Amino acid sequence: MRHKGNKIVVAVAGQPNSGKSTIFNMLTGARQHVANYPGVTVEKRTGKYSHNGNSVTLVDLPGTYSLTSYSQEERIARDFLLHEKPTCVLDIVDASNLERNLYLTFQLQEIGIPLVIALNMMDVAQARGHVIDTHKLSELLGAPVVPTVGNKGKGKQEVKEAIVNTHKNTENGSFRIDYGEKLESILGLLEKKLSEDLDISASYPVRWLSVKLMENDSEARRLVEKAVSA
């Protein structure tokens, strides 16, 4: 159940060295709180700010290259997204390493939570001769893409505006990965089967769960087995 009214909860995700902490600090300033995620020693940072009458809480997820279940950081990030269901995800993408960073973006998209993409380190990308059409990228991904340079404070207001606009817009983006005819036929059968189980379909995005089952993801199997046995 997503957060209603003027209270917005944003999960801040990104690969290591994408500038995630810099963007987090840029948005929240000194209004931060540090604790640990329940049951583990991984640091959990939260921060707050107000924008146009909206109270926004940012939760800094551990930096991860993906949302598999191979590391503690990946499990923490994925569990937060699946169980806490934030209003949206702010995905920090290193513009100078776009292809590598989009791997996490695609996995975030499949979970189905509305996405705002901060295309960070644009100055580094431009210095390397990269030209990125942010409007076209936004159109392809079905999510707002905001150019930022976190260590110089560039894009701060635009990111805040995109988060509020995403909160107001109840429709998710239209992005969907096409895995090809052979895989899609199997994924379709899996999605249909999972959708028939009300407990599973109410708790987890069946498209994401189907893809993870195809990857033989141990955590996805555990979630399905738990729901079926219940």
Final residue of a structural domain among 140, 168, 196: 168
Residues 110, 195 within the same domain: no
Cβ of 199: how many Cβ atoms within 10 Å?
11
| Average pLDDT rounded to a whole number, residues 187-198 | 93
Final residue of a structural domain among 143, 168, 193: 168
What does R_g of the chain's alpha carbons equal in angstroms?
18
Look up the CATH number of the domain holding residue 137: 3.40.50.300
Domain contains 176: no
Number of domains in the chain: 2
Confidence of residue 53 (pLDDT cuts 50, 70, 90): very high
Distance CA 213, CA 69 (A): 12
Residues 48, 160 within the same domain: yes
Its pTM surpasses 0.75: yes
**Domain containing 98: what range?**
7-168
Residues 41, 99 within the same domain: yes
What pLDDT, in 10s, does the model give residues 123-139?
Answer: 999 999 999 999 999 99
Final residue of a structural domain among 116, 146, 168: 168
Residues 12, 113 within the same domain: yes
Residues 31, 103 within the same domain: yes
Confidence of residue 3 (pLDDT cuts 50, 70, 90): very low
* Residue 223 confidence (pLDDT): 85
Residues 53, 107 within the same domain: yes
Domain contains 173: no
Domain contains 27: yes
Residues 89, 197 within the same domain: no
Domain contains 65: yes
* Residue 2 confidence (pLDDT): 47
Residues 190, 76 within the same domain: no
Residues 48, 162 within the same domain: yes
Strands (E), 113-229: 115-120, 145-147
What pLDDT, in 10s, does the model give residues 14-34?
Answer: 999 999 999 999 999 878 999
Domain contains 2: no
Residues 164, 185 within the same domain: no
Residues 72, 185 within the same domain: no
Non-local CB neighbours of 63 within 8 Å, separated by 6+ positions: 14, 15, 16, 17, 18, 20, 73
